[in-house]
Amino acid sequence: MSHHIVEVAGLSYTYQDGTEALKSVAFRIEHGAAVAIVGSNGAGKSTLLLHLNGYLHPTGGRIRIGDVMLTRETVAEARRAVGMVFQNPDDQLFMPTVAEDVAFGPLNAGLPPDEVGRRVTAALDRVGMGHVRDRPPYRLSAGEKRAVAIATVLAMFPDILVMDEPSSHLDPRSRRRLIELLKSFEHTRIIATHDLELVVEVCSRVIIMDSGRVVADGQMTELLNDESLMLAHGLERPHSLRHLHPH
């Protein structure tokens, strides 16, 4: 099974206004890994994520999802493999009810209605949101919206989950639930976030980006404990790593 591998080589992207958002980015993420992409605002994290499901086409370099080289022709295949959870769940939820929203992806994949129904129930149960299935998404709380947004992606049975700031706008309890949920997934997970405590709990590997480049790529504790590296790129060493002893 090499389905769940993401390989990026020499990836560059320049926006139309001339901003160089990505400069020769390269990494390889193995099956089942949980990898955090961290970096200050404007480091290129979101731009990178938008390449992984073929929304943006690189100005240079290449991307491989599983065995498939990502091109304009293989975009549909890549989108099936890569489930993308957006930063703002309001952008992701657009159907009249939660259940219909979760069904949107599977229906587009041309699955028969009873299979769609099973997937909707399973995905909502997986994120603990079965009880809101008939409610309109815009009436949910931020935590519920986030969970439903994740369910919409799970219902498509992706191999790889890509998430942009999954813990933003969440209260402590919803954030805790999200962390437990993320830890329980067996998918390959790529998470762009500023929430370094979430990284400590969920991810084993960290890629640090700055000004469109990968400046460090390695084991989570090693990189996040490197105070000078973190400060140099507008980050800070997570509190929980400073004090491994109880308070």
Partner 1 sequence: MRETMNWLDIGQMDDMGRMDTPVHRLDARAKAMVTMVFIVTVVSFGRYEVSALMPFFLYPAVLLSLGRIPPGAILKRILVAAPFALVIGVFNPFIDRQPAIVLGPVSITGGWLSFASIMLRFALTVGAALTLVACTGMHRLCSGLEQLGCPRVFVAQLLFLYRYLFAVAEDGGTMMRGVELRLTGNRHIGLGVYGSLIGHLLLRSMDRAERVYLAMVARGFDGEIRVMQKTVFRPVDIAFVCCWTVLFIAARVWNPAAELGRLLAGRLP
| Contacts to partner 1 by CB under 8 A | 50, 53, 55, 76, 79-80, 84, 86, 88, 90-92, 94-97, 100, 103-105, 107-109, 113, 116-117, 136, 138, 152-153, 156
* The pair of three-digit structure tokens given for residue 175, joined into one six-digit string: 């954030």
Comparison of 80 and 237: residue with beta carbon closer to partner 1:
80
Comparison of 130 and 218: residue with beta carbon closer to partner 1:
130
Say which amino acid occupies 175.
R
Task: Report d(CA 149, CA 40) in Å as an integer.
Answer: 25
Comparison of 76 and 244: residue with beta carbon closer to partner 1:
76
Listed residue (93, 196, 209, 197) closest to 151, CA to CA: 93
Comparison of 10 and 113: residue with beta carbon closer to partner 1:
113
Tokens 């973190």 map to which residue?
Answer: 230
Minimal distance, residue 28 CB to partner 1, in Å: 23
Enumerate residues 6+ apart whose C-beta is below 8 A from 51.
8, 11, 13, 22, 57, 58, 63, 70
Minimal distance, residue 75 CB to partner 1, in Å: 9
* The pair of three-digit structure tokens given for residue 92, joined into one six-digit string: 């992701």
Task: Report d(CA 194, CA 147) in Å as an integer.
Answer: 19
Minimal distance, residue 11 CB to partner 1, in Å: 19
Task: Report d(CA 1, CA 5) in Å as an integer.
Answer: 9
Comparison of 190 and 214: residue with beta carbon closer to partner 1:
190
Comparison of 86 and 216: residue with beta carbon closer to partner 1:
86
Enumerate residues 6+ apart whose C-beta is below 8 A from 141.
174
Comparison of 97 and 211: residue with beta carbon closer to partner 1:
97
Minimal distance, residue 65 CB to partner 1, in Å: 13
Task: Report d(CA 18, CA 42) in Å as an integer.
Answer: 14
Helix 98-108 with 142-154: angle, nearest 10 deg = 20
Minimal distance, residue 207 CB to partner 1, in Å: 22
Minimal distance, residue 224 CB to partner 1, in Å: 30
Minimal distance, residue 20 CB to partner 1, in Å: 21
| Enclosing H/E stretch for 2 | none
